[in-house]
């Protein structure tokens, strides 16, 4: 991810009211994770496993924070039970920013299956999501996805494709 894209995401999260972000890094997310860690206005919690991050975000929400989770799609797939039991069942919102390995533009054959499963699993879980690649779409999509998460008391997702991640 280019540094200006990472900076735009961090600034858009703050604009949308997000003040607490759990992350699990990956090569494509490195600049975003480092930028989140350096930002004084965001409480950044690096986690060891993505579903742990979903639990931390849910707890932070109960304590009055506006949380988001940054992870790759492999981590989203790992988090499905956590999302179902901790967020969707009681009605707790978490904005998820999900890097889309194995989506359009993927050069690594090893990511193809996880890439193909990502959207069907989001749909199966009835999680509303938007796919973002263009720079100018980042800010309005983060604002609107966070708005829906808060008003619906449900997790929402932004799937960052290769255009955003490169």
Partner 1 sequence: MKRYDCLRAIAPHFGEELVVTNLGAVRHEWQALRPHHGNYHLQNLGLTSSMALGLALALPRRRVVAFDGDGSLLLNLGSLATIANRHPKNLIHIVFDNECYESSRGAPTATAGQADLAAVARGCGFANVITVKTLVEFEQGFLRALKSKDLYFILAKVEAGVGDVPAAALDSQENKYLFVRYIEKSENVKILSSTLSRAGEPRAK
Applying CB under 8 A, the site for partner 1 has a residue count of 34
Q: How far is the CB of 46 from partner 1 (least distance, A)?
A: 8
The tokens for 113 are: 């299956």
CA–CA dist 64, 66 (Å, integer):
7
- Which of 164, 158, 155, 156 lies closest to 7 in space, CA to CA? 164
Q: How far is the CB of 9 from partner 1 (least distance, A)?
A: 21
CA–CA dist 59, 22 (Å, integer):
12
Return the residue of 5, 60, 68, 97 that touches partner 1, per CB under 8 A.
Answer: 60
Residue pair 87/55 in contact by the 8 Å Cβ criterion: no
The tokens for 96 are: 């998820």
Which residue's CB is nearer to partner 1, number 87 or number 165?
87
Q: Which stretch binds partner 1 (CB under 8 A): 25-33, 105-113, 135-143, 148-156?
A: 148-156
Note whether 155 binds partner 1 by CB under 8 A.
no
Note whether 69 binds partner 1 by CB under 8 A.
no
Note whether 13 binds partner 1 by CB under 8 A.
no
């Amino acid at each position: 991810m280019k540094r200006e894209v990472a900076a735009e995401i961090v600034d858009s999260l703050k604009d949308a009211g997000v003040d607490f972000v759990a992350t699990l890094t990956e090569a494509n997310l490195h600049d975003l994770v480092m930028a989140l860690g350096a930002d004084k206005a965001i409480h950044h919690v690096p986690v060891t496993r993505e579903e742990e991050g979903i639990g931390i975000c849910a707890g932070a929400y109960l304590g009055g924070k506006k949380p988001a989770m940054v992870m790759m799609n492999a981590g989203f797939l790992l988090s499905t039970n956590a999302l179902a039991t901790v967020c969707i069942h009681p009605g707790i919102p978490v904005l998820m920013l999900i890097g889309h390995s194995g989506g359009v533009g993927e050069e690594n054959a090893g990511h193809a299956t996880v890439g193909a499963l990502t959207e069907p699993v989001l749909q199966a879980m009835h999680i509303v999501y938007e796919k973002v690649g263009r720079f100018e779409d980042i800010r309005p999509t983060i604002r609107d996805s966070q708005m829906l998460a808060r008003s619906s008391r449900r997790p929402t997702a932004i799937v960052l494709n290769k255009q955003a991640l490169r």
